[in-house]
Structure 1
């Protein structure tokens, strides 16, 4: 691409601007398209795959859908090759592969995979999606925490510790008081305390942020594990039997086929998650606070020159992120399991961090990434129930395989905030 410029004493000067083309997405699209064509089509399974789309509570009952397994695999494989060609053409034009194309590609590949693996079986789609949303809740809260922290320039590796601290504290406080709402408040305070340590060492004392985050994760894991063994297990009836939030169906919306029971028959924590994502997305790009947050994460020196207190802004944002992550940790004990167990987050904080990267530090994209990883986690359970031909060891690896491929391949060209992980020392 060329741009012409003129000077008073010379002829027009042509300035060349180089367009960087990232072929990562088309290459990964092509690999997955070929895998789909071979696995689902050429070497596909015979028979029919049946998908159940309705529950007995739906206002409108949708009949089950039966698809010929191999023929569907051929069609999916061809469509994926066409999307790969479209992605390559878009990149060749000097543009990025759009998000909608990545979503369509992923959905089609997943339909082909589910059709292949459920040959001769019945796959309950609403149950699969309900479980996916439930498993995504702490991931999305953790991802929102990571987005806020990293947009202000602080790498939040301690999401795992914040989730675990929130889960432990909410279980104990809700068990003692018999008030789950107080458990939520306690979880937020616990998350803030963990983030306070991260902010103090990373911002005030300029310690490496990644090292501080890793140490905090180990500290919280060891501390909660010790207290669980020495305190909670000794008196589980009093300290580790919190009341769980009941599901609150939204009249009318809950009767919508497929998405009704998935999105509108949830606990209050899930509904708060919807609001949190919307508020973070709006505030980050539409308010003065969001502008200041992004400015200290991109160019703290320039932000300082216009009167923004860089380190104070970072400190506040890391604390807000800790409160959100702690709230998400409470879902493990007050919305899902019903009690605290040692290391019950099982790496959810690191998957949430991957969702931040996959989502390119954008709240909406990070939420979608969290839903994807939650879907992959629930998929291993559902496939085991319906008798998938995949080995059980592969099913256990499935969530982490999806995480690796998503971050390494489908994220495309991305750039973290320019000052992310860099301490600011005022001259």
Structure 2
């Protein structure tokens, strides 16, 4: 005889929800940790690495940090193993790894790799960080453009074209007027013009947004290359010698060790970026404008029923995003004081788009993602300067490898705005 236990009729129902586990982060940690260990075993290096934390002109000097190469590198590897184990535990318990753990892993990995790569050399930490901010600057502007566009329901593949149009406009107008401020305004207008074409075809004529963005990138690249060859090169002295924004140190803040020279001895473009990031974040999540923008990107039908004009809202916000991206393009010319060159943005618009995805369509997170990509570019330059044993071909690939690693291995599950990329036709 078999006894069968039955639950009482009045017993409370228990609802079990299946926990969806995302193993991308632990797997990525394990793979990169293994590659790091193979590097240390295959190419051990002797000596010490010196990290320079202050420049000669800094008011407050910090003594350099000298560390033994292999001992420090293996300690970092042990910490990577701990981070990997922690990621496994978090996934088993909560389904995903927290962002702070990913940040710690990246920092430890970078410290260990730099210690190994700069063995016997002096490595300028302030130069690396300042170069990271400079390299990330146009990416941040582009990422903000992408966040606004997708939040309002328009996929902006044309960020590359907007950056390039901004760089071209800034170079020409600032060369003719002698004023970088006028060039900055022209750069924003150049970005708006590209955004206007995107908005007209994607919103008014319902053309596929991805196709329009790709076509605009090709169009702007071809047009600026043609004008560069036919107009700028023959008249380089008058039309392609852009002035540069001067650096404006902020009193007291610029004297803070390490942080001061990096963040507070910059040009107006960097300070404008600080203001823009905060303004976009605040307006998007704390104002009526932001509420309408997000409503249009999430559920345009519902927004329409409460009186929000969906397509005009999308149109004007895409133009605003274009102005921000165009200003970011000015970094390449008047931001650095160099002439315009063919395809000088070098795919930055697509990396900015990756920063939008990595940042989960949030202005602050997208900015941090852009800073990570800028750090990868600056790291490449610094290691080339000190004569790192890493092949130069690999160093050129580094920013793009970081992009692939972050988007494919770290982002995990993230949800875009529900109506992003979907045209709206009023019933």
Distance 1:92 1:37 in 2: 25
2:67 aligned counterpart, secondary structure? strand
Relative to structure 1, the CA distance from residue 306 to residue 12 in structure 2 (aligned partners, 3 Å threshold; closer, same or farther) is: farther
Note the 1:293-304 alignment, pairs <5 A: 293-304=293-304
Contact 1:24 1:413 in 2 (8 A): no
Please report how far the alpha carbon of residue 10 of structure 1 lies from its aligned counterpart in structure 2 after TM superposition: 7.7
Distance 1:197 1:228 in 2: 22
CA root-mean-square deviation:
1.5
Q: TM-score, normalised by structure 2?
A: 0.95
Distance 2:247 2:368 in 1: 23
1:90-130 Cα distance to aligned partner (Å, 9 max, x none):
22122532222111111111001101101111111111111
Contact 2:162 2:329 in 1 (8 A): yes
**Where does residue 5 of structure 1 map in the other structure?**
none
- Are residues 1:370 and 2:362 paired? no
1:16 aligned counterpart, secondary structure? coil
Distance 2:279 2:19 in 1: 35
- Return 16-25 or 373-382, whichever deviates more: 16-25
1:370-412 Cα distance to aligned partner (Å, 9 max, x none):
1111111121121111111111111111111111111111112
2:423 aligned counterpart, secondary structure? coil
**Where does residue 4 of structure 1 map in the other structure?**
none
2:20 aligned counterpart, secondary structure? coil
1:18-49 Cα distance to aligned partner (Å, 9 max, x none):
22221111111122223233423685322211
Distance 1:172 1:80 in 2: 49
1:194-232 Cα distance to aligned partner (Å, 9 max, x none):
001101111111111110000000000111111111111
**Where does residue 6 of structure 1 map in the other structure?**
none
Contact 2:165 2:224 in 1 (8 A): yes
Contact 1:37 1:73 in 2 (8 A): no
**Where does residue 83 of structure 1 map in the other structure?**
83
**Where does residue 147 of structure 2 map in the other structure?**
147
Please report how far the alpha carbon of residue 60 of structure 1 lies from its aligned counterpart in structure 2 after TM superposition: 2.0
Please report how far the alpha carbon of residue 57 of structure 1 lies from its aligned counterpart in structure 2 after TM superposition: 2.3
Note the 1:264-343 alignment, pairs <5 A: 264-343=264-343
- Return 380-389 or 37-46, whichever deviates more: 37-46
Distance 2:103 2:52 in 1: 22
Please report how far the alpha carbon of residue 299 of structure 1 lies from its aligned counterpart in structure 2 after TM superposition: 1.4
2:105 aligned counterpart, secondary structure? helix
2:149 aligned counterpart, secondary structure? helix
Distance 1:75 1:281 in 2: 39
1:250-286 Cα distance to aligned partner (Å, 9 max, x none):
1111111111111111100010001111111111111
1:167-210 Cα distance to aligned partner (Å, 9 max, x none):
10111111111111111111111111100110111111111111
Distance 2:88 2:44 in 1: 27
Distance 1:167 1:403 in 2: 23
- Are residues 1:22 and 2:22 paired? yes
Contact 2:142 2:159 in 1 (8 A): yes
1:326-350 Cα distance to aligned partner (Å, 9 max, x none):
0000111111142211111111111
Contact 1:76 1:112 in 2 (8 A): yes
**Where does residue 3 of structure 1 map in the other structure?**
none
- Are residues 1:64 and 2:64 paired? yes
2:114 aligned counterpart, secondary structure? helix
1:305-337 Cα distance to aligned partner (Å, 9 max, x none):
211111111111111110000000011111114
Contact 2:50 2:64 in 1 (8 A): yes
**Where does residue 44 of structure 2 map in the other structure?**
44
- Are residues 1:251 and 2:236 paired? no
1:44-81 Cα distance to aligned partner (Å, 9 max, x none):
32221111111122222111111111111111111111
1:412 aligned counterpart, secondary structure? coil
Distance 1:43 1:342 in 2: 39
Distance 1:20 1:311 in 2: 36
Distance 1:248 1:350 in 2: 30
**Where does residue 96 of structure 2 map in the other structure?**
96
Gaps of 5+ in 2: 1-8
- Return 41-50 or 169-178, whichever deviates more: 41-50
